[in-house]
Amino acid sequence: MTRNIRLATLIVVLFVCFSGVSSTQEMKKGESEMRKGAGELKSFSCDPACGFKIQSHDEQELTEIVIAHAKKAHNMEMTAKDVKAKIKTVREKKEKKIDS
């Protein structure tokens, strides 16, 4: 009887250990897929007199916001093609390590 309880306990412990490893691997896989899908950082800047600026990894989101801004703030009709022509890719700065 004690042997069966020990065996059952061992099985439960092993199950919990392996399910934890599996879920951690799934989380890491999901994070890397999110980074891949995010794409490069894009930006759009309006006329300096307006001062409107936006940055996003999601080009479609950026395009929709710019089109809405153009209509509301400037009473302009812009197409996705117009916005795409003016979108710039942001080069992310790498941090330098300072040795002390």
- Residue 59 and residue 33 in one domain: no
Q: In angstroms, rounded to a whole number, what is the distance separating the alpha carbons of residues 80 and 78?
A: 7
For residue 93, pLDDT beyond 90: no
Count the residues in the chain: 100
Q: Tell me: the pLDDT tens digits for 51-85? A: 999 999 999 999 999 999 999 999 999 999 999 99
Two structure tokens written together for 63: 């395009």
- Residue 24 and residue 54 in one domain: no
Q: In angstroms, rounded to a whole number, what is the distance separating the alpha carbons of residues 59 and 84?
A: 8
Q: Tell me: the pLDDT tens digits for 17-39? A: 666 655 555 566 555 555 544 57
Q: Determine, yes or no, domain membership for 97.
A: no
Q: Three-state secondary structure along 23-82? A: HHHHHHHHHHHHHHHHCCCEEEECCCCCCCEEEECCHHHHHHHHHHHHHHHHCCCCCHHH
Residue 53: domain span = 42-89
- Residue 22 and residue 61 in one domain: no
Q: What is the pTM of this model?
A: 0.56
φ, ψ (nearest 5 deg) of residue 92: -75, 135
Q: Determine, yes or no, domain membership for 23.
A: yes
Q: Determine, yes or no, domain membership for 12.
A: yes
Q: Determine, yes or no, domain membership for 8.
A: yes
